[in-house]
Amino acid sequence: MQALVTNIQGYSIHDGPGIRTVVFLKGCPLSCKWCANPECISPDARTVFIETLCKHCGRCAGVCPHGAINTDATAHRIDYSRCTGCGVCADECYYEALVRYGKQMSVGDVFDAVRRDKIFYGDGGGLTVSGGEPLLHIEFVEALFGLCEKDGISTCIETSGFAKAESLIRLLPLTDHVLFDLKLMNDSLHMEYTGYSNEIILQNAAIAAESGADILFRVPLIPGVNDDIDNTRETAEFVRRVCSDPKVQIMPYHRLGDSKYKALNMINALRELEVMPPDRLEEVRQAFVSFGVACSISA
Protein backbone atom coordinates (compact mmCIF):
# COMPACT_ATOMS: atom_id res chain seq x y z
CA MET A 1 0.00 0.00 0.00
CA GLN A 2 1.43 3.36 -1.05
CA ALA A 3 0.63 7.07 -0.96
CA LEU A 4 2.24 10.21 -2.34
CA VAL A 5 4.19 11.85 0.48
CA THR A 6 5.14 15.52 0.13
CA ASN A 7 7.44 15.66 3.12
CA ILE A 8 8.34 13.99 6.41
CA GLN A 9 9.25 16.59 9.01
CA GLY A 10 10.91 15.56 12.22
CA TYR A 11 11.12 17.31 15.58
CA SER A 12 7.92 19.34 15.12
CA ILE A 13 6.41 21.04 18.19
CA HIS A 14 3.43 22.73 16.51
CA ASP A 15 1.40 19.79 15.17
CA GLY A 16 0.06 18.08 18.25
CA PRO A 17 1.34 17.47 21.77
CA GLY A 18 5.01 16.95 22.47
CA ILE A 19 7.69 16.40 19.86
CA ARG A 20 6.27 14.85 16.72
CA THR A 21 7.12 13.56 13.28
CA VAL A 22 4.74 15.06 10.72
CA VAL A 23 3.94 13.19 7.51
CA PHE A 24 2.45 15.42 4.80
CA LEU A 25 0.33 13.60 2.22
CA LYS A 26 -0.57 14.93 -1.23
CA GLY A 27 -4.04 16.02 -2.21
CA CYS A 28 -6.67 18.36 -0.74
CA PRO A 29 -10.23 18.86 -2.00
CA LEU A 30 -10.46 22.41 -0.63
CA SER A 31 -8.98 25.51 -2.26
CA CYS A 32 -8.43 27.80 0.73
CA LYS A 33 -7.22 31.17 -0.50
CA TRP A 34 -4.77 31.43 2.43
CA CYS A 35 -3.26 27.96 2.03
CA ALA A 36 0.34 27.92 3.27
CA ASN A 37 1.07 24.49 1.74
CA PRO A 38 0.03 24.86 -1.92
CA GLU A 39 2.42 22.06 -2.86
CA CYS A 40 0.06 19.66 -1.07
CA ILE A 41 -3.15 20.67 -2.89
CA SER A 42 -2.72 18.66 -6.08
CA PRO A 43 -3.07 14.88 -5.67
CA ASP A 44 -0.31 14.39 -8.23
CA ALA A 45 3.46 14.72 -8.02
CA ARG A 46 4.63 18.17 -9.01
CA THR A 47 8.09 19.52 -9.79
CA VAL A 48 8.71 23.13 -8.77
CA PHE A 49 11.27 25.70 -9.84
CA ILE A 50 13.19 27.79 -7.29
CA GLU A 51 14.49 30.64 -9.41
CA THR A 52 16.94 32.02 -6.85
CA LEU A 53 18.91 28.75 -6.87
CA CYS A 54 19.08 28.38 -10.65
CA LYS A 55 22.49 28.84 -12.32
CA HIS A 56 21.05 28.63 -15.87
CA CYS A 57 23.25 25.71 -16.85
CA GLY A 58 20.50 24.20 -19.02
CA ARG A 59 21.12 20.65 -17.81
CA CYS A 60 17.46 20.20 -16.85
CA ALA A 61 16.24 20.94 -20.39
CA GLY A 62 18.61 18.36 -21.77
CA VAL A 63 17.30 15.52 -19.63
CA CYS A 64 13.54 16.25 -19.54
CA PRO A 65 11.82 13.43 -21.47
CA HIS A 66 8.72 15.54 -22.15
CA GLY A 67 10.21 18.82 -23.37
CA ALA A 68 8.65 20.60 -20.40
CA ILE A 69 11.64 22.77 -19.46
CA ASN A 70 11.66 26.36 -20.68
CA THR A 71 15.13 27.91 -20.41
CA ASP A 72 13.85 31.41 -21.18
CA ALA A 73 14.98 33.34 -18.09
CA THR A 74 11.95 35.64 -18.27
CA ALA A 75 9.45 32.80 -17.86
CA HIS A 76 8.76 30.09 -15.30
CA ARG A 77 11.12 27.20 -15.94
CA ILE A 78 8.46 24.44 -16.15
CA ASP A 79 5.69 24.08 -18.72
CA TYR A 80 3.05 22.31 -16.65
CA SER A 81 0.99 21.43 -19.72
CA ARG A 82 3.78 18.98 -20.56
CA CYS A 83 5.29 18.19 -17.17
CA THR A 84 4.31 14.82 -15.66
CA GLY A 85 6.10 15.36 -12.36
CA CYS A 86 8.50 12.51 -13.09
CA GLY A 87 11.32 14.35 -11.34
CA VAL A 88 14.09 13.48 -13.82
CA CYS A 89 15.07 17.15 -14.04
CA ALA A 90 15.15 17.49 -10.25
CA ASP A 91 17.38 14.43 -9.94
CA GLU A 92 19.85 15.96 -12.41
CA CYS A 93 19.86 19.50 -11.01
CA TYR A 94 23.16 20.12 -9.20
CA TYR A 95 21.85 23.26 -7.49
CA GLU A 96 18.50 21.97 -6.16
CA ALA A 97 16.65 24.62 -8.14
CA LEU A 98 14.15 21.94 -9.18
CA VAL A 99 12.34 20.04 -6.45
CA ARG A 100 9.81 17.22 -6.82
CA TYR A 101 6.90 17.33 -4.39
CA GLY A 102 5.34 13.90 -4.10
CA LYS A 103 7.16 10.63 -3.56
CA GLN A 104 5.45 7.25 -3.61
CA MET A 105 6.09 5.62 -0.25
CA SER A 106 4.77 2.45 1.29
CA VAL A 107 3.24 2.23 4.74
CA GLY A 108 6.34 0.36 5.87
CA ASP A 109 8.71 3.01 4.51
CA VAL A 110 6.85 5.80 6.32
CA PHE A 111 6.60 3.81 9.54
CA ASP A 112 10.35 3.14 9.46
CA ALA A 113 10.97 6.89 9.21
CA VAL A 114 8.59 7.53 12.12
CA ARG A 115 10.07 4.79 14.28
CA ARG A 116 13.59 6.19 13.82
CA ASP A 117 12.39 9.35 15.58
CA LYS A 118 10.83 7.45 18.49
CA ILE A 119 13.74 8.27 20.79
CA PHE A 120 12.67 11.95 20.69
CA TYR A 121 8.99 11.47 21.48
CA GLY A 122 9.19 11.04 25.24
CA ASP A 123 5.84 10.62 26.99
CA GLY A 124 3.70 12.96 24.87
CA GLY A 125 5.08 13.01 21.32
CA GLY A 126 4.49 10.79 18.32
CA LEU A 127 3.24 10.81 14.74
CA THR A 128 1.02 13.41 13.12
CA VAL A 129 -0.38 12.85 9.64
CA SER A 130 -1.21 16.04 7.79
CA GLY A 131 -1.62 17.19 4.24
CA GLY A 132 -3.33 17.99 2.06
CA GLU A 133 -6.17 16.01 3.56
CA PRO A 134 -5.07 12.73 5.18
CA LEU A 135 -8.62 11.33 5.25
CA LEU A 136 -8.42 11.04 1.47
CA HIS A 137 -5.86 8.28 2.10
CA ILE A 138 -7.87 6.39 4.71
CA GLU A 139 -6.52 2.89 4.03
CA PHE A 140 -2.92 4.11 4.09
CA VAL A 141 -3.32 6.15 7.29
CA GLU A 142 -5.34 3.40 8.96
CA ALA A 143 -2.57 0.88 8.29
CA LEU A 144 0.11 3.32 9.44
CA PHE A 145 -1.73 4.12 12.67
CA GLY A 146 -2.22 0.41 13.27
CA LEU A 147 1.54 -0.13 13.17
CA CYS A 148 2.04 2.82 15.50
CA GLU A 149 -0.49 1.44 17.97
CA LYS A 150 1.37 -1.88 18.11
CA ASP A 151 4.66 -0.05 18.66
CA GLY A 152 3.36 2.29 21.35
CA ILE A 153 3.65 5.45 19.23
CA SER A 154 1.04 8.17 19.80
CA THR A 155 -0.98 9.19 16.74
CA CYS A 156 -2.55 12.47 15.66
CA ILE A 157 -4.47 13.52 12.56
CA GLU A 158 -4.59 17.07 11.22
CA THR A 159 -7.75 17.42 9.14
CA SER A 160 -10.00 19.92 7.42
CA GLY A 161 -12.89 17.56 8.07
CA PHE A 162 -13.89 17.67 4.42
CA ALA A 163 -14.09 13.94 3.79
CA LYS A 164 -16.48 11.03 4.04
CA ALA A 165 -17.78 10.49 7.55
CA GLU A 166 -17.04 6.77 7.15
CA SER A 167 -13.33 7.54 6.76
CA LEU A 168 -13.24 9.60 9.94
CA ILE A 169 -15.20 6.96 11.88
CA ARG A 170 -12.79 4.23 10.74
CA LEU A 171 -9.74 6.19 11.88
CA LEU A 172 -10.91 7.57 15.23
CA PRO A 173 -10.36 4.32 17.22
CA LEU A 174 -6.68 4.41 16.17
CA THR A 175 -6.22 8.15 16.75
CA ASP A 176 -5.05 9.64 20.05
CA HIS A 177 -5.40 13.30 19.07
CA VAL A 178 -7.41 15.20 16.46
CA LEU A 179 -6.49 18.65 15.16
CA PHE A 180 -9.66 19.81 13.41
CA ASP A 181 -9.80 23.04 11.40
CA LEU A 182 -12.84 25.29 11.60
CA LYS A 183 -12.34 28.02 9.02
CA LEU A 184 -15.64 29.86 8.63
CA MET A 185 -19.05 29.28 10.16
CA ASN A 186 -20.94 31.26 7.51
CA ASP A 187 -21.59 28.75 4.74
CA SER A 188 -21.64 31.23 1.85
CA LEU A 189 -18.33 32.74 2.98
CA HIS A 190 -16.90 29.26 3.43
CA MET A 191 -17.78 28.50 -0.19
CA GLU A 192 -16.26 31.80 -1.34
CA TYR A 193 -12.93 31.29 0.40
CA THR A 194 -12.49 27.50 0.25
CA GLY A 195 -14.59 26.45 -2.75
CA TYR A 196 -17.03 24.26 -0.79
CA SER A 197 -19.82 24.30 1.76
CA ASN A 198 -18.94 23.68 5.41
CA GLU A 199 -21.89 21.30 5.96
CA ILE A 200 -19.85 18.09 5.79
CA ILE A 201 -17.10 19.65 7.90
CA LEU A 202 -19.44 20.59 10.73
CA GLN A 203 -21.09 17.16 10.65
CA ASN A 204 -17.70 15.47 10.91
CA ALA A 205 -16.59 17.86 13.65
CA ALA A 206 -19.58 16.76 15.71
CA ILE A 207 -18.79 13.09 15.04
CA ALA A 208 -15.19 13.55 16.17
CA ALA A 209 -16.19 15.45 19.30
CA GLU A 210 -18.95 13.02 20.28
CA SER A 211 -16.56 10.08 19.91
CA GLY A 212 -14.71 11.26 22.99
CA ALA A 213 -11.48 11.81 21.05
CA ASP A 214 -8.98 14.35 22.34
CA ILE A 215 -9.90 17.09 19.88
CA LEU A 216 -8.50 20.56 19.45
CA PHE A 217 -10.39 22.83 17.08
CA ARG A 218 -8.08 25.19 15.22
CA VAL A 219 -9.02 28.42 13.49
CA PRO A 220 -6.67 29.76 10.80
CA LEU A 221 -7.23 33.43 11.60
CA ILE A 222 -7.31 35.49 8.40
CA PRO A 223 -7.56 39.29 8.72
CA GLY A 224 -10.75 40.63 7.19
CA VAL A 225 -12.05 37.12 6.46
CA ASN A 226 -12.90 35.31 9.69
CA ASP A 227 -11.59 37.50 12.52
CA ASP A 228 -14.89 39.32 13.08
CA ILE A 229 -16.89 38.97 16.27
CA ASP A 230 -19.76 37.11 14.56
CA ASN A 231 -17.55 34.29 13.31
CA THR A 232 -15.79 34.11 16.68
CA ARG A 233 -19.09 33.85 18.56
CA GLU A 234 -20.59 31.29 16.15
CA THR A 235 -17.43 29.17 16.26
CA ALA A 236 -17.42 29.26 20.07
CA GLU A 237 -21.11 28.35 20.23
CA PHE A 238 -20.56 25.38 17.91
CA VAL A 239 -17.54 24.10 19.84
CA ARG A 240 -19.39 24.42 23.14
CA ARG A 241 -22.38 22.56 21.70
CA VAL A 242 -20.41 19.53 20.52
CA CYS A 243 -17.63 19.37 23.15
CA SER A 244 -17.72 18.75 26.87
CA ASP A 245 -14.24 20.30 27.11
CA PRO A 246 -14.33 23.02 24.43
CA LYS A 247 -10.98 24.42 23.34
CA VAL A 248 -9.78 26.33 20.31
CA GLN A 249 -6.36 27.28 19.01
CA ILE A 250 -5.87 30.33 16.81
CA MET A 251 -3.39 29.91 13.96
CA PRO A 252 -2.33 33.41 12.85
CA TYR A 253 -2.14 34.10 9.12
CA HIS A 254 1.45 34.25 7.82
CA ARG A 255 3.12 34.71 4.47
CA LEU A 256 5.62 31.85 4.65
CA GLY A 257 3.94 30.19 1.68
CA ASP A 258 4.68 33.07 -0.75
CA SER A 259 7.82 31.47 -2.13
CA LYS A 260 5.99 28.19 -2.70
CA TYR A 261 3.36 29.88 -4.85
CA LYS A 262 6.09 31.41 -6.98
CA ALA A 263 7.91 28.09 -7.29
CA LEU A 264 4.66 26.42 -8.39
CA ASN A 265 3.80 29.29 -10.78
CA MET A 266 0.54 29.78 -8.87
CA ILE A 267 -1.19 33.00 -7.88
CA ASN A 268 -1.33 33.71 -4.16
CA ALA A 269 -4.77 35.28 -3.83
CA LEU A 270 -3.94 36.90 -0.49
CA ARG A 271 -0.37 37.96 -1.25
CA GLU A 272 -1.12 41.59 -0.32
CA LEU A 273 -2.69 40.71 3.02
CA GLU A 274 -0.85 42.01 6.07
CA VAL A 275 -0.05 39.81 9.04
CA MET A 276 -2.26 40.45 12.07
CA PRO A 277 -0.53 42.32 14.92
CA PRO A 278 -0.19 40.59 18.32
CA ASP A 279 -2.61 42.90 20.12
CA ARG A 280 -5.35 42.07 17.61
CA LEU A 281 -4.67 38.34 18.01
CA GLU A 282 -5.04 38.75 21.76
CA GLU A 283 -8.38 40.52 21.26
CA VAL A 284 -9.72 37.54 19.32
CA ARG A 285 -8.35 35.10 21.90
CA GLN A 286 -10.05 36.99 24.70
CA ALA A 287 -13.29 37.05 22.71
CA PHE A 288 -13.26 33.24 22.54
CA VAL A 289 -12.66 33.08 26.28
CA SER A 290 -15.54 35.49 26.91
CA PHE A 291 -17.77 33.12 24.93
CA GLY A 292 -16.83 30.23 27.20
CA VAL A 293 -14.13 28.50 25.17
CA ALA A 294 -10.52 28.00 26.25
CA CYS A 295 -8.32 29.55 23.58
CA SER A 296 -4.60 29.59 22.82
CA ILE A 297 -2.54 31.14 20.03
CA SER A 298 -0.28 28.90 17.96
CA ALA A 299 3.36 29.97 17.86
Ordered structural domains, the chain, with CATH: 2-38+117-297 (3.20.20.70), 46-101 (3.30.70.20)
Q: pLDDT class for 71, splitting at 50, 70, 90?
A: confident
> What pLDDT, on a 0 to 100 scale, did the predictor assign at position 99?
93
Per-residue model confidence as pLDDT tens digits over 168-197: 999 999 999 999 999 999 999 999 999 999
In what helix (H) or strand (E) does residue 188 lie, and over which residues does it extend?
helix 187-194
Q: In DSSP terms, which residues pair with 218 in a beta bridge?
A: 181, 249
* pLDDT the model gives residue 180: 98
pLDDT of residue 76: 83
Q: How confident is the model at residue 162 (pLDDT cuts 50, 70, 90)?
A: very high
DSSP 196-252: S-SHHHHHHHHHHHHTT-EEEEEEEE-TTTT-SHHHHHHHHHHHHHH-SS-EEEEEE
Model confidence pLDDT, tens digit, residues 75-129: 788 999 999 999 999 999 999 999 999 999 999 999 999 999 999 998 899 999 9
Q: Which of 194, 172, 174 is nearest to 182 (CA)?
A: 194
